[in-house]
């Protein structure tokens, strides 16, 4: 019985996901394809300059949503190859023209439009078959149970079986059983095939991927230098305003104590207590500063235990699931830890959630982390947001981040960093 359940449950789950893709996918792809064609056609009239950037941004969100589903539902990784749009574009008509041309010249835009066509045809067919192999047999069983009598005035076709009697209804049920057995084995591979088809269109060629990675690493190298300089300034500021000020005050108190120790022992005793309190506070601030640079638990016990310790300090119930057969390099662990820390902090502050979940595992030389909350949704990777900072931090290690956050929630932040475990 357990063996049957272990086979049926994943197949039914894959069929349900295929059903969702077969309904939502074509609706979104057909609508966006029509809007894209119309918007580009209206560029000579001027109206397209207003609509095209918005429509192409919607197409990218649609494609990114499919990338996220590919990673979470079928473990198929589809790169996000979009060229960044400069933030200092001119305003007015010239800026709109420049933004529109930049997006249209991006090779990823052409692949997105091609994918819309593939998704509404081959992708939809594969998704329908993945769902139909598991759900269509139900109709055969219902026909055999007596529903065939409703169609006595005319022959009802179940597949290639004409149903007009109890015998033919039983034949329809037998055909449904065969389809169900096929679906047990084929639904999951078909769901994966749907995403493989999407990857074959959306993913850049090896040459384009290499050029994209070079550009990305060049950009993230400059960002890493800026981030390191900013972090150094923060450490200097915290030392100057915190521990250093307390140590200076403690030194002054000790000088006063030295002058008062024989003249006014009682006052000297009070100053000694103050100095001891200042030294304890300075030590606590130094520990907090060191923990902010590299938490001791991360160095001693690894990423999993460090994230669990982080979850215990959150005001929201947080579940942590870690499957790591080893440890990554210290810089990768540090980047992953602070990325999770900032994601959880953002969720606790802004999501309105009462439950968080963190999943960390290592598959195919990739450290994969997902943070999910049941909050109100609406999170985006925007300029100046905390999520954009996390994306820059991961980019230093050629990592990527995807966010799924529909209005009303839930929100899922997925991060991937290529690395090997020791």
Q: Which two tokens stand for residue 417?
A: 């960093």
Question: What pLDDT sits at residue 253?
Answer: 67
Question: What pLDDT sits at residue 347?
Answer: 83
Question: What pLDDT sits at residue 134?
Answer: 85
Question: What pLDDT sits at residue 392?
Answer: 73
Residue 352 DSSP SS3 = coil
Question: What pLDDT sits at residue 242?
Answer: 58
Q: Are 356 and 316 in contact (CB under 8 A)?
A: yes
**DSSP assigned state of 294:** S
Residues 6+ apart with CB under 8 A from 182: 133
Residue 356 DSSP SS3 = strand
Q: Which two tokens stand for residue 418?
A: 């290529």
As averages over each run of 10 residues, the pLDDT of the chain (422 residues) reads: 69 89 91 93 84 90 90 85 69 73 86 93 92 84 77 73 80 85 88 93 77 65 56 59 64 70 73 72 62 65 84 84 85 83 82 86 87 81 64 76 80 86 78
Q: Are 18 and 194 in contact (CB under 8 A)?
A: yes
Question: What pLDDT sits at residue 127?
Answer: 92
Question: What pLDDT sits at residue 44?
Answer: 86
Question: What pLDDT sits at residue 111?
Answer: 92
Q: Angle formed by the axes of helices 47-73 and 92-105, to 10°?
A: 40
**300-418: CATH number:** 3.30.565.10
């Amino acid at each position: 019985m357990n063996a049957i359940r272990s086979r049926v449950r994943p197949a039914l789950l894959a069929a349900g996901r295929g059903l969702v893709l077969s309904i939502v996918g074509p609706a979104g792809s057909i609508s966006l394809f029509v809007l894209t064609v119309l918007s580009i056609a209206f560029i000579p009239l001027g109206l397209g300059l207003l609509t095209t950037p918005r429509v192409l941004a919607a197409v990218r969100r649609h494609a990114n949503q499919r990338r996220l589903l590919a990673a979470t539902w079928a473990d198929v990784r589809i790169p996000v190859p979009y060229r960044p749009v400069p933030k200092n574009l001119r305003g007015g008509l010239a800026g709109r023209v420049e933004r529109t041309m930049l997006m249209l010249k991006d090779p990823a835009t052409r692949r997105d439009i091609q994918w819309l066509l593939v998704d509404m045809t081959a992708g939809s067919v594969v998704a329908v078959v993945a769902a139909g192999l598991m759900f269509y047999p139900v109709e055969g069983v219902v026909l055999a149970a007596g529903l065939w009598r409703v169609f006595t005035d005319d022959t009802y076709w179940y597949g290639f079986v004409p149903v007009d009697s109890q015998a033919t209804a039983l034949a329809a049920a037998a055909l449904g059983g065969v389809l169900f057995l096929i679906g047990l084995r084929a639904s999951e591979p078909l769901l994966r095939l749907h995403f493989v088809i999407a990857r074959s269109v959306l993913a850049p060629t090896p040459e384009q991927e290499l050029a994209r990675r070079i550009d990305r690493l060049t950009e993230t190298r400059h960002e890493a230098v800026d981030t390191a300089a900013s972090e150094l300034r923060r450490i200097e500021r915290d030392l100057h305003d915190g521990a250093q000020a307390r140590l200076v005050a403690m030194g002054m108190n000790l000088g006063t104590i030295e002058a008062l120790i024989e003249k006014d022992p009682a006052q000297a005793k009070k100053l000694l207590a103050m100095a001891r309190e200042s030294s304890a506070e300075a030590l606590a601030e130094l520990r907090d500063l060191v923990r902010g640079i590299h938490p001791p638990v991360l160095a001693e016990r690894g990423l999993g235990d460090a994230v669990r310790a982080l979850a215990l300090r959150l005001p929201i119930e947080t579940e942590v699931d870690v499957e790591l057969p080893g440890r990554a390099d210290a810089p990768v662990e540090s980047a992953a830890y602070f990325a999770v820390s900032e994601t959880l902090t953002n969720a606790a502050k802004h999501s309105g959630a009462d439950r968080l979940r963190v999943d960390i595992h290592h598959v195919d030389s990739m450290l994969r982390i997902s943070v999910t909350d049941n909050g109100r949704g609406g999170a985006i990777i925007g300029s100046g947001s905390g999520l954009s900072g996390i994306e820059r931090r991961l980019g230093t290690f050629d990592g990527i981040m995807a966010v799924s956050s529909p209005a009303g929630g839930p929100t899922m932040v997925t991060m991937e960093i290529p690395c090997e475990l020791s």
